[in-house]
Amino acid sequence: VVLADELNRATPRTQSAMLEAMQEGTVTSSGVTRPLPQPFHVLATQNPIEQEGTWPLPEAQLDRFLTMIRIPTPDAKALAAITRGTTGNMPPKVEPVMTPEHMLALQQAVRQVVVATPVRDWAARLVLATHPGSDLAPKDLVKVIECGASPRAGQALLAMAKALAFLEGRSHIGMVDLRRVARPVLRHRLLPTFEFLAGGGDIDPVIDDL
């Protein structure tokens, strides 16, 4: 597990190396390419407030992240739990909950979750609807979105929906599952227009409308 804190502060060269690890599962150094162990996961954060000294992540790299999760300000109960766990005398104990082999087996099990043809078609239409030039897109989408989601978004929608159904003990997914994962799957894959960003627009309601 690699945690890249404030990834947008990394230089383009570092981001390129991270992209290779995420896409190819390898790391190249001094002309030697080495495979990464499996399972391999990348988690990254971005600071949305301080932008000085940052390098925007290219769309190709953003597309490699399965989801973008917005973390709200913790409420009083969560904040109390944070302070209790980080200011006490005893550091929290970390215990393994599964082996790498168990994780890989679970990933294969998730792939067995059934997707009916109408559900798969619905996901495809949703992805196409994010493109302003598509017949499925709303007419005013061109004012909001400059570039729509890639085919990888369709893969992510189905993969996330399958995982959700698996965690809830179901052997198939429905359109309700796709709706539940649409925001985290699509919000970083849609390139907003400058006018939309300048006006303080939020991409989540746009996804809901689609």
pLDDT digits over 134-158, tens only? Answer: 999 998 999 999 999 999 999 999 9
Q: Which amino acid is at 195?
A: E
Average pLDDT of the chain to the nearest whole number: 90
For the cut 90, the answer to whether the pLDDT of residue 21 exceeds it is: no
How large is the average pLDDT for residues 13-31? 86
For the cut 80, the answer to whether the pLDDT of residue 47 exceeds it is: no
pLDDT of res. 1: 84
Separation in Å, CA 99 to CA 21, 160, 192: 22, 22, 41
Tokens, residue 93? 């104990």
Choice among 74-78, 84-88, 143-147 with the minimum mean pLDDT: 84-88
Neighbours of 163 (CB within 10 A): 19
Is the separation of the CB atoms in 129 and 139 below 8 Å? no
The predicted-structure confidence for 49-71, as pLDDT tens digits, reads as follows: 556 666 677 787 788 899 999 98
The segment with the largest mean pLDDT, out of 38-42, 70-74, 152-156, is 152-156
Q: pLDDT band for 110, please (50, 70, 90 cuts).
A: very high
Neighbours of 25 (CB within 10 A): 12
| pTM attached to this predicted model | 0.86
Is the separation of the CB atoms in 21 and 27 below 8 Å? yes
Is the separation of the CB atoms in 158 and 115 below 8 Å? yes
Residues 6+ apart with CB under 8 A from 122: 175, 178
Nearest-angstrom CA–CA distance, 184 and 193:
19
How large is the average pLDDT for residues 76-98? 88
pLDDT of res. 50: 57
SS3 for 100-116, per residue? Answer: HHHHHHHHHHHHCCECC
Neighbours of 65 (CB within 10 A): 20
How large is the average pLDDT for residues 66-93? 88
Q: How far apart are the first and last CA of the chain?
A: 34
Query: Could you give phi then psi for residue 42, rounded to 5 degrees?
Result: -115, 125
Nearest-angstrom CA–CA distance, 166 and 3:
26
pLDDT of res. 48: 66
* Percent of the chain whose predicted confidence (pLDDT) is above 70: 96
